[in-house]
Amino acid sequence: MPLRTKVKIGTGSSKATQEAMEETWRNFCYGQGVLEIIEDGGLPVHSFSIIGGNIPDLKQDYSLNVDSNGVAGIAVNEKNLLYAWFTFLQLLHPNNNTLELENVRLPHVEIADSPSLKFRGIHFCVFPETSLPMLEKLLKLSAFLKFSHIVVEFWGMLKLDSRPELAWPQAFDKKSVAHLLRTIHNMGAEIIPMFNHLGHAAGARSLCGRHTILNQNPKLAPLFEFDGWTWCLSNPHTHKLLKNIRTELIEFFGSINKMDYFFLGCDEAYSFASCDDCSGHEPGQLLAGYLNTINDELKEQGIRPIIWGDQLLDPQKFPKPFSAFGTKTKGAIKILSRDFIIADWQYNICDSQEDSFKFFMDNGFEVVPAPWDNYHNIKSLCASAKKLELKGVLATTWNSLVQHPYMLWNSANVMWESEPSKDFTSHLNSIAMKLCGLKLDYTEAGWGTKEVHL
């Protein structure tokens, strides 16, 4: 197949979809591909044909055929048309009979495909150490691997108008990340903003001893409990600041894509309700009242809140290996709005223990299990989500992504497939390299800035 080629598509595909097809074709031809897109009213909506490929029958969410006639795909909607296109791109290989790239080849295949989970989410932290090229690599790769939702949590790395102390001086401004986020949305993924509304108020890892806000302005200490780790919910200025942050993030992310969800965090709030004012309230009622007020505000905007589930689980009923920190706040579940989606992070479950998922289901909540970086953990939680017909799964990456980049492949694979294969790290690296360009300097070319630490 020549590097400069034409593709016919059915009428009605958006400019964003066509731009995504053009960019990914260029990248998967090692920066040398040129794609000419021609709208053809004779083709079905949400279909494409290259070199005379015959449009296949639509058997699942998308179908893709490669044979001697050419390449053709068809899908139920525009997002799945992109998925068919991404699958086609993964089949491309350079012809190996020349010194430099002249054309590409691909095998003959017939593919009919649908995901086994509809909500296939992944959560990323944007740390001060996260460069813009690395963020681009992670987000583009996630969209290409067909994650349907990408949660982005800026750890002091997005400058906000609400207060300058919410971000470090070297943080990204909104303009510098808006184009990237829009590109990711154009590749078929929904971007979900996250800002911690209870624990993790420091906006930094506890082991590292930093506090994004207090290191820059210690006078704001009354907004937090004594240790700075948890927001103080008795202080009206806390509520006002967090509302301003939500409003600003909703406006910003809403300019990228339709806002269906807002992730409020709310995990590991170890010092919750420990100040004199907060300790005068029943913790479960204080937490539920606070969250229900936020839900009422979001509901008016058509947005559903997502929270972590650990503060709602009684550790007496859910001992290890479950992650349950609801000793003080377990009672909140009785009065918490059922509009909330519970992201139940259970990183130590590897043997299909489903007690916590069933607990939230029995209490009327939609649940998305959340695994981390252990393949058996990912596989177990995805299997439970499919068995129990849960909303989906939210993979997490946290601080271990550089050490375990294969978790992206594993999570995407297990969420999509009914019978997933295991790690395929070399293929993952090849895709990431093509998606983000090949001419990167040493520190940006891989997953980390160093090959070894001496």
Q: Does residue 429 have a pLDDT over 90?
A: no
Residues 382 and 328 in one domain: yes
Q: Which pTM does this prediction carry?
A: 0.96
> What CATH number should be reported for the domain holding residue 19?
3.30.379
Residues 365 and 223 in one domain: yes
Mean pLDDT of the chain: 95
Residue type, 23: E
Asked whether residue 257 is domain-assigned, the answer is yes
pLDDT of residue 441: 85
| 52 neighbors 58 (Cβ within 8 angstroms) | no
Kindly indicate the confidence band of residue 444, based on its pLDDT and cuts at 50, 70 and 90.
confident
Asked whether residue 454 is domain-assigned, the answer is no
Residues 105 and 178 in one domain: no
pLDDT of residue 76: 98
Buried b or exposed e, range 206-217, using 16+ CB within 10 angstroms: eeeebbbbbbbe
Residue type, 233: L
- Higher-scoring residue by pLDDT: 405, 124: 124
CA gap 344, 392 in Å, rounded: 11
Asked whether residue 101 is domain-assigned, the answer is yes
| 329 neighbors 291 (Cβ within 8 angstroms) | no
User: For residue 19, which of 182, 242, 262 has the smallest C-alpha distance?
Assistant: 182
Residues 261 and 309 in one domain: yes
Kindly indicate the confidence band of residue 423, based on its pLDDT and cuts at 50, 70 and 90.
low
Q: How many domains does the chain have?
A: 2
Q: Does residue 452 have a pLDDT over 90?
A: no
> What CATH number should be reported for the domain holding residue 247?
3.20.20.80
pLDDT of residue 183: 96
Domain final residue, candidates 112, 140, 155: 112
pLDDT of residue 404: 82
CA gap 80, 115 in Å, rounded: 10
Joined tokens for residue 224? 């937090």
User: Which domain covers residue 290, as residue numbers?
Assistant: 119-445
Residues 71 and 201 in one domain: no
User: For residue 391, which of 149, 135, 146, 97 has the smallest C-alpha distance?
Assistant: 149
Q: Does residue 179 have a pLDDT over 60?
A: yes
Asked whether residue 452 is domain-assigned, the answer is no
CA gap 386, 432 in Å, rounded: 28
Asked whether residue 453 is domain-assigned, the answer is no
Ranking 99-108, 190-199, 354-363, 387-396 by mean pLDDT, the lowest is 99-108
Strand 4-10, strand 47-50: pairing: antiparallel
Q: Does residue 22 have a pLDDT over 70?
A: yes
Q: How many CB atoms lie within 10 A of CB 422?
A: 11
Kindly indicate the confidence band of residue 428, based on its pLDDT and cuts at 50, 70 and 90.
confident
- Is the preceding omega at residue 315 within 30 degrees of 0, hence cis? no
Domain final residue, candidates 87, 112, 137: 112
Q: How many CB atoms lie within 10 A of CB 297?
A: 16
Residues 320 and 304 in one domain: yes
Residues 404 and 286 in one domain: yes
Q: Does residue 422 have a pLDDT over 70?
A: no
Q: Does residue 425 have a pLDDT over 80?
A: no
CA gap 190, 195 in Å, rounded: 17
| Averaged pLDDT for residues 66-94 | 97
Residues 51 and 75 in one domain: yes
Residues 181 and 261 in one domain: yes
Domain final residue, candidates 112, 129, 148: 112
Residues 416 and 308 in one domain: yes
Partnered with residue 262 across adjacent β-strands are 305
Residues 263 and 375 in one domain: yes
Residues 318 and 423 in one domain: yes
Mind listing the pLDDT tens digit for each residue in 259-296?
999 999 999 999 999 999 999 999 999 999 999 999 99
Beta-carbon contacts of residue 199 (< 8 Å; ≥ 6 apart):
229, 230, 265, 266, 267, 268, 269, 270, 272, 311
